[in-house]
Amino acid sequence: MEEIPERLTVRPSWLITQLAVHARKLVFDGFTAVGARGYHYRILAALHEYGAASQAELGRRCRVDRSDVVAAVNELVAQGFVDRTPDPDHGRRNKVTLTGAGLRQLRRMDKVLDQVQDDLLGPLPAEDRQTLTRLLTHVLAHHEPR
């Protein structure tokens, strides 16, 4: 294995970027194995936690571009994981609702993500994992738009 310049390896930004690439691959591979994508998880999780929502609400809540929400919801409808019906309170809007099959898929995806966390953070004991999560949450919150 080639040596990496120390100037890089002592910088958290470089380390986070390298780890993010690895994490993204683990998540992608895991979700692919259960016939899913990351956008699917975001949408199913939001519907489970907050209930039925418009596609626009899902986009804002999940931080997914509007056109990507439409494509992902179309895929989820085709798989029977969500229902999309006209919103009776707003004629031009659709309401998206989680189905029983969607909840089962969300649970499968939760298991995939649990395994990804174990694979990604394998060398760390549970206390260090919690500390890392707390620190990353704090740094991310600092950079979130107000």
How confident is the model over 8-26, as pLDDT tens digits? 989 999 999 999 999 999 9
The pLDDT of residue 102 is 98
Q: State yes or no: pLDDT of 87 exceeds 90.
A: no
Q: Is pLDDT above 90 for 88?
A: no
As a whole number of angstroms, the distance between CA 84 and CA 59 comes to: 15
CATH 1.10.10.10 fits 23-111, yes or no: yes
Do 103 and 85 contact (CB within 8 A), yes or no? no
Query: Is the model's pTM score more than 0.75?
Result: yes
Task: Order the strands of the 82-86 sheet from edge to edge.
Answer: 53-54, 94-98, 82-86
Q: Residue ranges of the domains in the chain?
A: 23-111
**Which pLDDT score, from 0 to 100, does residue 15 have?**
94
Mean pLDDT (whole number) for 98-116: 97
**pLDDT for 145:** 78
Residue 44 CB partners (closer than 8 Å, separation 6+): 76, 81, 82, 98, 102, 103, 105, 106, 109
pLDDT of residue 127 exceeding 90, the answer is yes
* Single-letter amino acid, residue 54: S
Residue 91 has pLDDT above 80, yes or no: no
* Residue 114: strand pairing partners: none
Alpha-carbon gap, residue 20 to 14, rounded angstroms: 10
